[in-house]
Amino acid sequence: MTTTIADDLTQDSDDLTQGSLPILLRRYGGKTAWYAFAIGLALFVLAPIVLFYSRAFGDGAAAIRNLTDVPNLATILVNTIALAAGATVVAAVLAVTLAVLVMRVPVRWRGLAAFLPQLPLVIPPVASIVGWIFIFAPTVGYGNTLLRSLPFFDRMSEGPVDVYSMPAIIIITGTELTGIVFAFVFARMHEISGSLVAAAKLSGASAFRSFTTITLPLLRPSLVASLVVAFLLGLGQFTAPLLLGSADGIDVLTTEIFHIREKFPIDYAATAALGLPLLILGIGSILVQRAVIGDQRRYVTQGVGGNVSTQTSRWALAGVVSYSFVTCVLPLLAITLVAFSPFWNGDLTNLLFTTKHVETTLSNPIVSGAVWNSITTSVIAAVIVLPLGFIGALVMSGVVKSPRPIQYILDFVFVGPLAVPRAMLGLSVLYVFLRPPFNLYGTLTLFVVGYVFIVLPFSLRSQHASLVGMHSSLFEASRICGAGQLRTILDIALPLAKRGMAASLAVMIVLLSHDFAVSVMLRSPGNHVMGTAIFEFWEGGVYPQVAVMALVMSAVTGILLAVTVWIGGRSALQNM
């Protein structure tokens, strides 16, 4: 018996060495293994979402019928769509402009210039929003105080900029989303073959005509994908409307749902009913994206990219640096001033500094525990999701031959969470996993599960992009030479996907370390991550501690990103 088992193991090892993975798959189930993996992942990801939203249809859809009783529901819906559409337009204009500017930056500075538009992604959104509050709060904002010292504004007692208004919420949200849109657009622009643009110019086309007839059409998949992502994130915006809109009664669907979540017991049926329009709009946006883009391979160009613009200018670098200064440095400076000032009064003429608030905040056990919990849960979630994204990328790019239904299932599973706003994802996880047999309420495991839902779509994107742009002849040649799927994966697909893996890891760590929406929805007494800690300080109205916590979140995110870059190399930044 022992000899037989040893012989079988030896034969399996030989099969793996020779790259005969299909033989082993057929021996141990073949297609059944693929279906088991895809269906199992679908149940984990989609079942909680379906179970949660099904509450809206309980008792004869009573919760949906009762939506008419929600005060100002029409205004809330209009605010939600206006925020998503407006922020998407702002992000699209800024991102395309920045991408064009970066391509015109001198080559020696282009690497730095390509990272600067994505720098706002490193700063936690809640920290950035708090910074803009310190700058443009109507009465004591540093920026408004300076503006009121100028002519035309010197007779005003507050303003002239109101950070607690809908236009301010749209602009701030749009600048937050710009980094994501830029990442999509610039990565594709850098891959476009420069020979195509050069040929157009040789044919007499102007730079503008070359951009509109060649570059822009080839950007179509990345641009459409990024706009859909931005629109979906805009629909699910929670942090900016909660912190900025509450002061003037500006609500969107996510903040209205949050108000219901704060009541005990939680009316899950009402929250699910309110979230249905967001789900419908999210699914519709993804379907539109797929219809517009179609087969992404139609947009793959062969040749050397990166030369879309041959003219360089230092003014382009100045424009990119100025954008980064306004969106990143100014909010951080305002936060730092409040953190190290005895009190926040907006007066820049008589500044006093103290470390009292920093010492008090850092000595708070809630802060140290929140930092450790955020790091631990973020790393665990990223480690879980990264290999799942690689498997999905193998299937979706055609490197691994799998049944066609498997591709559809995995595609839907990875994209599905993107259609659900993060606040609703948090509620879905809370609803399902606090009940038997899981009983995860009050545990850090609940945060890990919620974080897995957040980053699942992003774990696939960069890795899939690394593989789908490669010509299929590479993998076909490997099979013709006798290599099986395992050998093809290890020797060809894995090296090609390393840059995408590094980028995925960087994106996941950044997103998770400063998550706010899911964390606030999953919070429980005694368990804090950085997002819940800063929210607790915010509710207490202790603004210097809010400022210190915002600096802590930014520092932790930066350190985690630096470690990720050290592990994955500069590609982690270049492909974010």
The residue written with tokens 């622009």 in the block is 189
Mean pLDDT across 496-502: 74
Phi–psi pair at 43, nearest 5 degrees: -65, -40
Of 64-73, 108-117, 567-576, least confident by mean pLDDT is: 567-576
Per-residue b/e over 533-545, b at no fewer than 16 CB within 10 Å? bbbbbbeeebbbb
- Number of alpha carbons in the 13 Å side-chain half-sphere of residue 523: 23
User: Which runs of consecutive H residues, i.e. helices, occur in 262-345?
Assistant: 268-293, 314-324, 330-339
Distance CA 301, CA 165 (A): 45
Here the tokens at position 337 are 């001033």
Distance CA 495, CA 315 (A): 37
Concatenating the DSSP letter of every residue in 346-409 gives ---SS----SHHHHHHHT-HHHHHHHHHHHHHHHHHHHHHHHHHHHHHHHHHTSS---HHHHHH
Q: Nearest CA to 274 among 228, 234, 236, 229?
A: 236
pLDDT, one tens digit per residue, over 419-458 is 888 889 999 999 999 888 899 988 999 999 999 999 988 8
Q: Nearest CA to 187 among 571, 557, 562?
A: 571
Mean pLDDT across 263-272: 90
Give pLDDT, residue 151. Answer: 86
Mean pLDDT across 72-83: 93
Per-residue b/e over 43-61, b at no fewer than 16 CB within 10 Å? eebbebbeebbebbeeeee
**Do 419 and 279 touch, CB atoms closer than 8 A?**
yes
Which residues, at least 6 apart from 299, have a Cβ–Cβ distance to it below 8 Å?
188, 218, 220, 221
Mean pLDDT across 390-402: 79
User: Which runs of consecutive H residues, i.e. helices, occur in 21-57?
Assistant: 21-27, 31-54
CA distances from 436 to 43, 425, 430 (A): 16, 19, 12
Q: Nearest CA to 30 among 397, 492, 406, 465?
A: 406
**Do 149 and 60 touch, CB atoms closer than 8 A?**
no
Give pLDDT, residue 309. Answer: 47
Q: Return the higher-pLDDT residue of 462 and 345.
A: 345
The pTM of the full predicted model, rounded to 2 decimals, is 0.81
Strand residues in 60-136 grouped as ranges (E): none
Here the tokens at position 409 are 């299932």
Give pLDDT, residue 573. Answer: 52
Answer whether the bond into residue 160 is a cis peptide, omega within 30°: yes
**Do 153 and 147 touch, CB atoms closer than 8 A?**
yes
pLDDT, one tens digit per residue, over 189-207 is 665 545 555 555 655 555 5
Straight-line distance from the first to the last Cα atom of the chain, in angstroms, rounded to the nearest whole number: 53
User: Which runs of consecutive H residues, i.e. helices, occur in 192-237?
Assistant: 194-202, 207-210, 216-218, 220-235
Distance CA 228, CA 224 (A): 6
The residue written with tokens 């790393």 in the block is 379
What count of residues does the chain have? 576
Here the tokens at position 239 are 């942090």
Of 12-21, 204-213, 463-472, least confident by mean pLDDT is: 12-21
pLDDT, one tens digit per residue, over 130-139 is 999 999 999 9
62-76, 277-291, 489-503: which is most confident? 62-76
**Do 572 and 565 touch, CB atoms closer than 8 A?**
yes
